[in-house]
Structure 1
Amino acid sequence: MYQLMKVKADVRQASDKVSALIGQRDLLRKQKEEARNRLEAAQQELNNYDLVQILLQKTSEYARQQAKKQIEDIVTSALSVVFSKDYRFIVNIEVKANQPVAEYWLESEGVTTQLKPPDYDRGGGVADVVSLALKLAVGELSGVRGPLFLDEAAKHVSQEYVQNVAFFLKEFGQKFNRQMVLVTHSSVLAEIGDTSIGIRQANGKSIVETI
């Protein structure tokens, strides 16, 4: 009887250890996935900042100043609409090694600080909104026509501000007569579309439906 009880206790102990190890494994997998998502988001932000640098390098001094003003206006507008605060986005252009290099600054409540990508230290997803607005600005300044495709726009923005992002995108599209195609998991962003299409899976098949 004693031996049987001891065996059962050992089995329970081994089972608990296995469960703990499985829990640790699942936690590590989750942390790995979160790290991968942060890396992808940071890379996307860097790409958007690089697009601005390329645009500025390919333009004349006069065109550069015009582009600077429009970029500042679009990003400032986005930040002000989304966060309902007195933000001002500033682009400083310096010539280094015979190439114009842009630095980004953010002014809020009388304080001006440099914004370096990726910058996740600001609450609510400020850097994400800056990145989104830069992409829209480059789309207009580059002269590329046709629709803009945005994949998971502003997905790091706090939920309380997502409705404002939707409003800004709607207003931007109307102001610049620009069609935008959003790929998103956000029902709030999906609702702003003139046409919204949902894709879900059922029994291993993808079902497309108007929502």
Structure 2
Amino acid sequence: MTAPAQARDDAALPAGTGRRIARGWRRARPHLLVALPILLAIAALGLGLASWRAAGTNARIAALESGRDLAVAPDAPAALLLARVRFLAQRGRLEETEPLVEAIERQEAVEAAARARYAVANARMRQAFALLTASDLDRAGPQVTLARQDYRRALQARPDFWDAKLNLDVASRLIRDYPDFDRRTGDELQAEPKKIWTDIPGQPRGGP
């Protein structure tokens, strides 16, 4: 049954088609042989350039993590922006972090955005605790409120971010311990994530 079918297929081709294909291949082959090394060289150059850029990015990230103060452009890769945010947050330079965090969010780098918000929130909480130790409630309140907002944004980007959930609970307990914080500073993000701890009768409020 297969032979007649093959014969019909061959008969369907115009006469001389096979010869024309063969002649076309013979004419094109020298050009392809010349173009192929060029195409391979271009591909290798592209891979080499990408590797060089990645190595440069990694080197700058390592420098920031070691404590070197390097400027980072807003259009830099998200990983490099995150390293810069962490560098600034660790040193309390929070006003400089916001444009970088927004740049990460514009890149839709969800993981990096969550970690950037978390780093900023932790820095605000450190400042708040220092101010509370100094009995400076007026300045501590806004830091706690802003920290809570950043923890929430981190959780919006990554709902399974357990460390952010835990620290959000700490910030929320501070709000409960110092109720004037909310009255003085407000809280623009009123929607709370689901409660982390269950209030059990007979246990301190919020205890596990």
TM-score band, normalised by shorter chain: 0.3 to 0.5
- TM-score, length of structure 2 as denominator length: 0.37
For CA contacts below 8 A with separation 6 or more, give which structure has more relative contact order: 1
- TM-score, length of structure 1 as denominator length: 0.37
Determine which structure has the larger helix proportion and give its number: 2
Which of structures 1 and 2 has the bigger CA Rg?
Answer: 2
Determine which structure has the larger strand proportion and give its number: 1
